[in-house]
Structure 1
Amino acid sequence: MVLKLYSSTFAAGGGAIVALVLAEKQIPFEHVVVDMANKQHKSPEFLAMHPFGQVPVIDDDGFIVYESRAICRYLAEKYADKGTALLAKNLKERAIFEQAASVEFANFYPAVTKVAREAFYKPRFGGTTDQAVLDEGLAELGTKLDVYEVILGKHKFLAGDEFTLADVFHYYSAPYFAEAGVNIMTSKDRPNVARWWNELMSRPTWMKLKAEGIKGTA
């Protein structure tokens, strides 16, 4: 049975990072579009898969996994020998990877979510940006990126010199900053961050996903 990915078609948020892993690992999948506008994700059938009524969800031959980072780890482990190796193998390298992944979740993600909400998602869905909240979010994110600048001065990617899930997790919302006129990720003040970010944004799998949206490949 082919793996099923339940998500919207828009390449942002958790659905985007799962779809990116599927592309990097060259895993065929069926895309089941969830009609968010009509609250399909809150239906009894969907809640049976994801008790919080959110996307994405995968169904791997009856094995259900929700929460995007958990899904990504599962796919990278199960298909370790396919496509891009997204997880370190030895103990010390894996510890550094988990450290980097924790940095993304505990430091980058909270700050980037505030900026994304105000700069991108609110205007996209008919809301109005609160400039004070946006400025606060940018200041908070800037302090995190100052530390990233130091980390990325030591190696090419966040967890070392290889592209891993720790980098993948950063595609959640930040790629849409530039569309909203927010260029904090490529500021000349942080050349290491800019170099890393430009490399992530020019990755062929990401460019294709962003251009076409999430589409099944099975």
Structure 2
Amino acid sequence: MAQDMTLLWGSGSPPCWRVMIALEEKNLQGYNSKLLSFEKGEQKSKEVLDINPRGQLPSFKHGNVVVNESYAACFYLESRFKSQGTKLIPDDPTEQALMYQRTFEGLTFYEKLASVLFYEYYVPEEEQHDSALKRNKENLSTEIKLWEGYLAKLGSGSHLAGPALTLADVVVFPTVAFLFRFGLSAERYPKLGEYYALLKDRPSVKASWPPHWLENPKGQDTLKDL
């Protein structure tokens, strides 16, 4: 089963991490895993382009099925292997609706994070402006407060869509982990801090933790003032 799967990925990529957590939660260990280097431009290699013409990571293949978008891959894995591992889409209609809502809000959350952390990577130097980065930070701060409020309403010890882990957590946790890796204050955002602590030692998360974070546990302080 998992032996028919290939995942090409990069360390510290939230989209890659989402798929890796989903694979772990569905008990699909033993897939063909290949770590590639963004610094060396290996995401543009023929090996990747043969699976993913966009030249992006993750690139995921299961038999003859190719699913490269991280959200799509996570949904595919839950649908294809719904009877094994963790049930990631709840049966309860209310929890299911909240799961879908938070899952897709997670796209906006990650985009606002990326607009700050990866600003210099995505924006050509001649187009970079301090005012734009300041605005991006303000937008991210507003977004973080929104998620802090979501968790406050659900109560202590909750996941994003209720008491159990769902696809919403699979796709959003990497974004939250990045926030704290880059200096977000758990004292200022206690509910997000509690949520991060709840999931960071989960077996699926520990098994897929970015290798270069393990090598260098100390993060940066880019977001310490948010």
Q: Cα deviations across residues 93-127 of structure 1 (Å, max 9, x unaligned)?
A: 32221111122113x11211123325xx96xxxxx
What residue in structure 1 maps to residue 23 of structure 2?
Answer: 22
Correspondence for 1:146? 145
Cα offset, 1:204, TM superposition: 3.0
Shift of 1:68: 0.7
CA distance in 1, matches of 2:33, 2:70: 15
> Greater relative contact order (Cα 8 A, min sep 6): structure 1 or 2?
1
Match of 1:81 among 80, 83, 106: 83
Q: How many residues align?
A: 200
**What RMSD in Å do the two structures reach over aligned CA positions?**
2.8
User: Any conservation in 1 of the 2:19–2:73 contact (CA below 8 Å)?
Assistant: yes
Paired with 2:132 and 2:174, the residues of 1 have a C-alpha distance of 20
Tell me the CA shift for residue 158 of structure 1.
Answer: 1.6
Q: Which moved more, 1:201-210 or 1:41-50?
A: 41-50
- Helix, strand or coil at the partner of 1:101: helix
Q: CA deviation at 1:150?
A: 2.3
Cα deviations by residue, 1:140-194 (Å, 9 ceiling, x for unpaired): 22211222222212321222221111112124444244444x224x2x2332222
Look up the match of 1:216. Answer: none
Gap change, CA 1:171 and 1:41, over 3 Å in 2: same
Are the counterparts in 2 of residues 6 and 57 from structure 1 also a CA contact under 8 Å?
yes
Q: Deviations over 1:194-215 (max 9, x none)?
A: 21122122323212322657xx
Taking the aligned partners of 1:85 and 1:16, their CA distance within structure 2 comes to: 18
1:209 is matched with 208
Secondary structure of the structure 1 residue equivalent to 2:209: helix
TM-score norm. by structure 2 comes to 0.74
**What residue is the counterpart of 1:93 in the other structure?**
95
Using the size of structure 1 for normalisation, the TM-score is: 0.77
Corresponding position of 1:125: none
For the pair 1:192 / 2:191, whether they are aligned, the reply is yes
Identity, % of aligned positions: 24
* Corresponding residue of 2:115: 114
Q: Once the 2 structures are TM-superposed, how far is the Cα of residue 26 of structure 1 from its aligned partner?
A: 1.2
Runs of at least 5 residues in structure 1 that lack an aligned partner in the other structure: 123-129, 214-218
Aligned partners of 1:43, 1:209: CA distance in 2, in Å?
Answer: 23
Question: What are the Cα deviations for residues 116-139 of structure 1, in whole angstroms up to 9, with x where unaligned?
Answer: 325xx96xxxxxxx8766554432
Taking a change above 3 Å as real, the CA distance of residues 77 and 15 of structure 1, as seen in their structure-2 partners, is same
Matches within 5 A, 1:147-186: 147-155=146-154, 156-180=158-182, 182-184=183-185, 186=186
